[in-house]
Amino acid sequence: MRILLVDDEVELSGLLARFLKAEGFADVDTVDGPEAAVRHIETHKPDFVFLDINLNAAMNGMDVLRRVHATTPETMVCMASAYREEYEQSSLEQGAMWFLKKPATVDDLLAVVRSVEK
């Protein structure tokens, strides 16, 4: 399974990538900006994207989510934000399959990833 982690907190996404690799997921990539996320998704077509909403002022995670579903609708997306009340419903309405409120635990992320495997 191809996994992409998109977060502007580079250290966090690096830690999550190492954790997932230790759990047996070999194909895990990280990017820190929305433009890089869109390019990576269009080129590599990951099976699963863990996508932070607050990326930068020009393009946020919701914008990336719309692009994912326009170009690779088969890619499953989990949105993440500390602002659940503002974004959870709209994320799910726009095609995200999961929403995790930050700070989420690694066990929360692992549970979502394992459900993608099934």
What are the residue boundaries of the structural domains of the chain, listed by start?
2-117
Query: What stretch of H or E contains 92?
Result: helix 84-93
- Cβ contacts of 9-16, under 8 Å, gap ≥ 24: 9/52, 16/50, 16/106, 16/109
Q: Which pLDDT does position 86 carry in this prediction?
A: 84
Q: Which pLDDT does position 96 carry in this prediction?
A: 96
Q: Going by C-beta distance under 8 Å and a sequence separation of 6 or more, which residues neighbour residue 118?
A: none
Q: Which pLDDT does position 23 carry in this prediction?
A: 96
With beta carbons less than 8 A apart as the criterion, state whether 4 and 41 touch: yes
Q: Which pLDDT does position 49 carry in this prediction?
A: 97
pTM metric for this prediction: 0.93
Written as six digits, the tokens of 98 are: 């999961």
- Digit-by-digit pLDDT tens for the chain (118 residues) are 999 999 988 898 999 999 999 999 999 999 988 999 999 999 999 999 999 999 887 899 999 999 998 989 999 999 999 888 889 999 999 999 999 998 888 999 999 999 988 7
Spell out the CATH class of 2-117.
alpha beta
**Nearest CA-CA partner of 54 in 78, 29, 34, 25:** 34
